[in-house]
Amino acid sequence: MASMNWKDQRIILTGGSGFLGRHIVEGLHERGVADNQIVIPRSAKYDLTEKDAVVSLYNDAFGSDKATMIIHLAAEVGGIGANMKNPGRYFYANMAMALHLIEQARIDGLIERNGKFIQTGTICAYPNHTPVPFKESDLWNGYPEVTNAPYGVAKKAAWQMLDAYKLQYHMKSAFVLPVNLYGPWDNFNLQSSHVIPALIRKCIEAMDRGDEFLEVWGTGSASREFLFIEDCADGILTAAEKMDDPTPINLGTNMEITIRDLVHLIAKLTRFADEDTIEERIRWDATKPDGQPRRCLDVSRAKELMDWEAKVGFEEGLKRTIEWFRNHRNDADARM
């Protein structure tokens, strides 16, 4: 099993100012990593879809000392609607970022410094009708759900690139597949957010307006699994510590919930509705897509290879997320 001395690391953290990135930074601090050991590239200066920008990032980050670890979180992604509007952009942006970051890390000498590349994947890479719970061995057994396939395929291609670089160049790397994330600092923009932050915002704003009902996409029959953001950050850093090859590893809880039950739970926790009024206050728009029918992960490999498992219960995580949004409405709006 690989080990890691965090105090010796010089880390480039793409997406470090985003939702997951904030929690990765907190996790690094908890492991003894100082701020001057972390470089977070900003898109205004470094467009990571462009080769020259990535070259400049690697040259600028730590001067002649150079980075010893790349944690690549940056992505262009959204919910079902955003994926349907931007399939070309989502494929190009996510593929280009991984392509340039991995290749330029090789050219920059990451391998000679015994460094490591950590890539976050997505469960959107799984085939549409993968048997539940999803096992990492099923990743190639079919085509992804059509509404998010370009994004999922781009992320899966990054995994294959790391696997090829391990075989040919002996590059150390790790590849994790987090399930749907939620928690403080999530994206609450209704045009691009995922289901939990969107529902929280819709319920609270509907209450503010005094709306009698809430309209929700689909039929509610699809199921999903969710991972609290702090657990995900811990899983990624555990992979960085313990993995040297890009064996795909699911990060999740192995707890499945239907969208209908999720909507009801969030409506109750936000106090938009109670048990007696929930059915009449939620209206389903069945003309809109449900997305992939089911998502639930087999997380036994994470336990076996990394001795990792999630710690935060789902209802506890939802309560913490709702409380954060109520107390940070201005911060959430600023992110939009």
Catalytic residue among 46, 58, 126, 151, which?
151
In this prediction, residue 193 carries a pLDDT of 77
The C-alpha atoms of residue 243 and residue 306 are separated, in whole angstroms, by 8
How many whole angstroms separate alpha carbon 156 and alpha carbon 154?
5
For residue range 107-155, list pLDDT tens digits in order: 999 999 999 999 999 998 999 888 999 999 999 999 998 888 999 999 9
Question: How many alpha carbons lie under 13 Å from residue 253 in its C-beta half-sphere?
Answer: 22
Q: Which of 146, 181, 197 lies closest to 75, judged by CA?
A: 181
The Cα 242–Cα 237 span in angstroms is 9
**CATH number of the domain residue 125 falls in:** 3.40.50.720
Query: What's the whole-model pTM score?
Result: 0.91
Long-range contact set of residues 275-280: C-beta below 8 Å, sequence gap at least 24? 280/213
Residue ranges of alpha helices (H) inside the chain are 19-30, 51-60, 80-85, 87-107, 149-169, 195-209, 229-242, 259-269, 278-281, 300-306, 314-327, 329-335
Q: What is the pLDDT of residue 332?
A: 64
* Within a domain: 318: no
Number of domain units in the chain: 1
Q: What is the pLDDT of residues 50-89, one digit of tens each?
A: 999 999 999 999 999 999 999 999 999 877 777 889 999 9
What does the angle CA 291 – CA 294 – CA 300 come to, to the nearest 5 degrees?
Answer: 135
Inside any domain, residue 189: no
Query: What average pLDDT does this structure show over 21-39?
Result: 97
Tell me: the pLDDT tens digits for 212-259? 999 998 999 999 999 999 999 999 999 999 999 999 999 999 999 999
Q: What is the DSSP string of 25-87?
A: HHHHHHTT--GGGEE---TTT--TTSHHHHHHHHHHSSGGG--SEEEE-------HHHHHH-H
Instruction: Select the more confidently predicted residue: 333 or 279.
Output: 279
Q: DSSP assignment of 249-260, as one string?
A: EEES-S--EEHH
- Asked whether residue 334 carries a pLDDT value surpassing 60, the answer given is no
Q: Which domain holds residue 58?
A: 6-182+227-254+296-311
For residue 192, tell me if it sits in a domain.
no
What's the mean pLDDT when you consider all of the chain?
93
Give the orientation angle of helix 87-107 with respect to helix 51-60, to 10 degrees: 40
On whether residue 62 sits in a domain, the answer given is: yes
Predicted pLDDT of residue 3: 61
Q: Is 46 a catalytic residue?
A: no
Domain membership of residue 207 (yes or no) is no
Q: What contacts 207, CB < 8 A, 6 or more positions away? A: 270, 271, 272
Phi, psi of 182 (to 5 degrees): -155, 160
Q: Is the confidence at residue 1, as pLDDT, over 50?
A: no
- Judge whether 324 lies within some domain: no
SS3 state at 220: coil
